Structure 1
Amino acid sequence: MTERSAPDGTGAPDLGWTHIALAVRDVDASAAFYAQYAGLRLVHRRDEPDGDPVVWLSDLTRPFVLVLLEAPVTHVLGGWAHLGVAVESRAEVDRRVADARAAGVVVDGPHDSGPPVGYWAILADPDGHHLEVAFGQEVAATVAAATRTATPDGRAAGGDAPPGTLPPR
C-alpha cells in the first residue's frame, strides 16, 4: 500500500469524514434502531480482542459509517448534540415519528423550522443518543455554495479564517 492508495489497492484512499463512533450497551438493539429510523444497513461486524462486538452501519450513499461499539455508555449525545439523517419527504418524517411514538422514543417534534433547517424530529436510541430525522434541510446546497465560492487556499466565501478554523462571527 502506498501512502496515497487505499488498503484494498484501489488507489482511492478514504479522505475527509469517515465515521462517528458511539458507545452502546447492546450493538444489536442499537443497530436495529438505526436500521428502522435512519435507514442504515450493517456493512461490517467484528469482535474486539476483549470479545466486545463492533458494527459499522451505512446508508450506502457515501463512504461514511456509524460505528457502534458495545461498551459502557459514559457520554450520551443528548440535548442539541445529535446525529442527523435526511429522508425523502415530510410524510416520511411523519411515518418514522409515528413508529417512534408507538415505541416511546420521540424526544421532540416534529417541527418545521423553514430553510435551511427544514422539517425535523428528534428520537432517542436505546442508550439515549439523539437522532434527528429531517426533510428539507439544505446541507448539500449550503456546502455546494461554499465550495463554488471558495478561494484557492480553501477559504469559504466571505470567510477570512484559514482552513480548519471557524470564521469570526
Structure 2
Amino acid sequence: MIDIGLTHVALPVTDVEQSIRFYSTYAGMQVIHRRIDQETGVNFVWLSDSTRPFAIVLIQTNRLQTILSPLAHLGVGCPSREMVDSLCSKAKQEGILIQKPQDSGYPTGYWAFLRDPDGHTLELSYGQEIGLTLEQSS
C-alpha cells in the first residue's frame, strides 16, 4: 500500500532524545523509525501514536531557524478532559504550560498549549470534532 494524503510533519529539534521523551509523555507517541543519514550525519526519528498513518519526523539540528509557536502548533486529541487536565498539571510543574485549559465550545472543544523542549507548541485537546466534521462534509 502506498501512503497518500498528509503523512507527516517534519520538525527540527536540537536534542532528539529530549524531544522523544516529551512527545511520548504528552502526545502518546513512540519511535517507529530511526536513522542517521550516512552523508550528512543528521539524526532522523519518526514518531507515531499508531492511530493513523501519520508521523512527526524529528530532525536533529544544531540551531533552529524557526519554531512552531502559537498560533502555529501541532494538535493532539485526548480521550477526556481529565487527561487534558492531568497532562497540563504535569506540564505546569515542569514549567512548560503556555496556555491553561479552556473550553471554546463546538467545534474547537477543550484545549491547552504546551511548549516542547525547543519551544515548539503542542496543543492538547478534547472534543475537537475533526473526524465528525470530515464525515459531515463528505
User: In the alignment, what sits opposite 1:65?
Assistant: 55
Q: 1:9-39: per-residue Cα shift (whole Å, max 9, x none)?
A: xxx1100011000100011101110000011
**Map of 2:92 onto structure 1:** 101
Q: Secondary structure at the match of 1:29?
A: helix
Structure 2 counterpart of 1:120, from 111, 118, 121: 111
Q: Which residue identity is paired with 2:54?
A: F
Of 33, 36, 51, which residue of structure 1 is paired with 2:25? 36
The SS at the match of 1:79 is coil
* SS of 1:80 mapped into structure 2: coil
- Paired residue for 1:85, among 76, 83, 86? 76
In the TM superposition, residue 122 of structure 1 has moved relative to its aligned partner by 0.1
**1:114-155 CA deviation, whole Å, 9 max, x = no partner?**
1100001000000000000000111001111112xxxxxxxx
Deviation of 1:43 after TM superposition, in Å, equals 0.3
Map Cα deviations across residues 47-74 of structure 1 (whole Å, 9 max, x no partner): 0122221100000011100000001211
Aligned residue pairs total 136
Q: TM-score, normalised by structure 1?
A: 0.79
Q: Relative contact order, CA 8 A, sep 6+: which one is greater?
A: 2
Gaps of 5+ in 1: 1-11, 148-169
Residues in 2 aligned to 1:73 and 1:132: alpha-carbon distance in whole angstroms: 20
Q: Percent identity?
A: 46
> Matches of residues 1-169 of structure 1 in structure 2 within 5 Å?
12-49=1-38, 50-71=40-61, 72-147=63-138
Q: 1:80, CA displacement in angstroms?
A: 0.5
Hey, what's the Cα distance between the residues in 2 that align with 1:79 and 1:91? 23
> For structure 1, which segment, 117-126 or 50-59, has the greater mean C-alpha deviation from structure 2 after superposition?
50-59
CA distance in 2 between partners of 1:65 and 1:124 (Å): 19
| Pair member with larger Rg | 1
